[in-house]
Structure 1
């Protein structure tokens, strides 16, 4: 029987937290998952304007790792991103860090991820600034992911990169080759940058080594990794960036696993679907079924909760979002006008745009539901909420 992440946390997290060390960020995420769209968070009433239908809608937790309430925030992020992207081809570049460094990431999540962002984007910007490859300023949108399909640590950065850039004199330049940058050059420069930045942060104390890794062990690990190729992928250009942005949106909100992949609990194990990647002999399309003990499943999921207020999606170059980005100049060079600001859509409009009419319209007359009578956390809706139409009619 299928199960939801909320049901798993409601049934097993308290026991897990009593036996294992859990950070404040993890506790907060678990609390949000357990109480999303429940009486604990309060809510409001949705009603047909003609009084045919009433329903109680409890508030969402809005935690970025919650799969239950991620759909609207994900669509909002995607809409903003598509509006921001320039009308030109884009490349998808992925920087993956060696698994040998995962213990350092676990104890220094924010500083380690900041190092990855800096090393990857500096590599791209510096190489693309070279006239041999482009000689211009690109637009880069980078998104951090820390998991694979079985929720094991897999720290990597997805980058959407414009296939071209803005020169100093304001003209739009296209790359010299279809591949944007030679993969080996990209890998070697990124590997050198990340290693140098990581060593500097360890020396300064910004990144601390876990007890299981001595300074000498750290040096030996880096030396060993220097002779190995790192996993850096650069894909052929997409016609525009919206396709890659749509792919990324699935991971920006909703956490490491969605409810649709959860199959149930059997013999004290969580059963879920996963895609079999190339590293496991698959093609990334064929699916397998994993059975993971409940404690391990919770531990894996909690491992990927980002620090609160940590920015997992960032813009650089033309997409940096500051007054120095020159994105309006880039639009002018490409012959397009800046996008007009649009009024944010209501939840009813989002549902209608996705064809989810059952969620936002009256099942009797088909009119759009109206939200009213908000009620506080831990409370239920007031009784007068269900006579709302009559009072509304009298007031009119």
Structure 2
């Protein structure tokens, strides 16, 4: 049997939870991923409307970290944003926080990420409002990531920003420079804002100080980091934002690692593939294989579970999504119409787009299957359907 996140949790999570202190969010995520699309979550019946075919479909957990059931939510998010993105070039910018601050992040995940979002968004909006660089209101779409390819802590923000903005007269101003902003200027301003915001929250008692340090040592660390170089990148310009939006979508749902990267579990270790970094962007990234003990793997996996109801993707400026965003005016300035809202992608449409056109249809007559007869968690399917086909895990 193939090694997956689900099989690892089924075999090892109970013992792991007894040996380690876990938050409620971690336990909930692990149980959801372990029980996804199994009888533990209940289910329903999909049937042909003409009675040719019946199928037992166990319910998905719908947890954002689950690698099994997030194909459809990911596709819906991406489809919605592809319609909202302005028809103009976009820049992909990355703001990375120093590894010295990882202990602070572990004890303040929500507050830390909120501060990271605010510092990056304010930095971009203030610099790009300056006529020296652009002189307009830009669209910003940001997503926080907290992991590296080996699941170690690596807190950074991916930002999609329009290569132009709407000025005070309602006219579109195109980016004046091929690199959007000077990297050093961007780094210094972001570093200053992020540190100042953290110091203010520390002074107000809004940050939980890690047990390995003290408030005074934490202030000293933040002051010291003000004299170091932070990793802030401005990547090449994309003619359209779809490519970066697709990149973000792959990280928003499904957790920090997909089942396709896991090779096997052997002798108490989990072996998986990872992408090796490469500073030379003309050479493709290489694939490597590494391993962690089962406890290390599960610990790193669950460390990246976001706080419940935490918004890991946020829009600012023209992409803020409120009545003050002026997105309609920006579309008009670019000569395009604001797209009308479309109905969400159905699971049958998703299966067809994924190359599984028969997954949601009767194998005999081809009609779309109809869902009915839901059964509760831990219960068996209705008596008349217990010999029906069990649905696969395409989505």
Tell whether the structures are fold-level matches, with TM greater than 0.5: yes
2:318 equivalent to 1:318:
yes
SS of aligned partner of 1:209: coil
State the Cα distance separating 1:48 from its structure 2 match: 2.9
Q: Deviations over 1:86-145 (max 9, x none)?
A: 111000000000000000000000000011001000000000000000110000000000
Cα distance in structure 2, aligned partners of 1:187 and 1:232: 6
Q: Any conservation in 2 of the 1:276–1:284 contact (CA below 8 Å)?
A: no
- Specify the alignment match of 1:394 in structure 2: none
Cα distance in structure 2, aligned partners of 1:377 and 1:314: 34
State the Cα distance separating 1:31 from its structure 2 match: 1.1
SS of aligned partner of 2:123: helix
Q: Deviations over 1:50-98 (max 9, x none)?
A: 4333221001000000000010000000001111111110000000000
> In angstroms, what is the RMSD of aligned CA positions?
2.0
SS of aligned partner of 2:359: helix
Unaligned runs of 5+ in 2: 389-395
Distance 1:211 1:28, change over 3 A: same
- Specify the alignment match of 1:226 in structure 2: 226
Q: Any conservation in 1 of the 2:64–2:70 contact (CA below 8 Å)?
A: yes
State the Cα distance separating 1:281 from its structure 2 match: 12
Cα distance in structure 2, aligned partners of 1:222 and 1:39: 50
- Specify the alignment match of 1:118 in structure 2: 118
| 1:58-97 aligned within 5 A | 58-97=58-97
Distance 1:78 1:10, change over 3 A: same
Distance 1:329 1:70, change over 3 A: same
SS of aligned partner of 1:62: coil
Between the two proteins, the alignment pairs up a number of residues equal to 388
The alignment's TM-score, normalised by the length of structure 1, stands at 0.94
Unaligned runs of 5+ in 1: 389-396
- Specify the alignment match of 1:174 in structure 2: 174
| Bigger share in helix | 1
Cα distance in structure 2, aligned partners of 1:7 and 1:46: 26
- Specify the alignment match of 1:189 in structure 2: 189
Q: Any conservation in 2 of the 1:43–1:377 contact (CA below 8 Å)?
A: yes
Q: Deviations over 1:206-236 (max 9, x none)?
A: 1121111123322332233222210000112
Cα distance in structure 2, aligned partners of 1:135 and 1:241: 21
State the Cα distance separating 1:282 from its structure 2 match: 12
SS of aligned partner of 1:227: coil
| 1:42-61 aligned within 5 A | 42-61=42-61
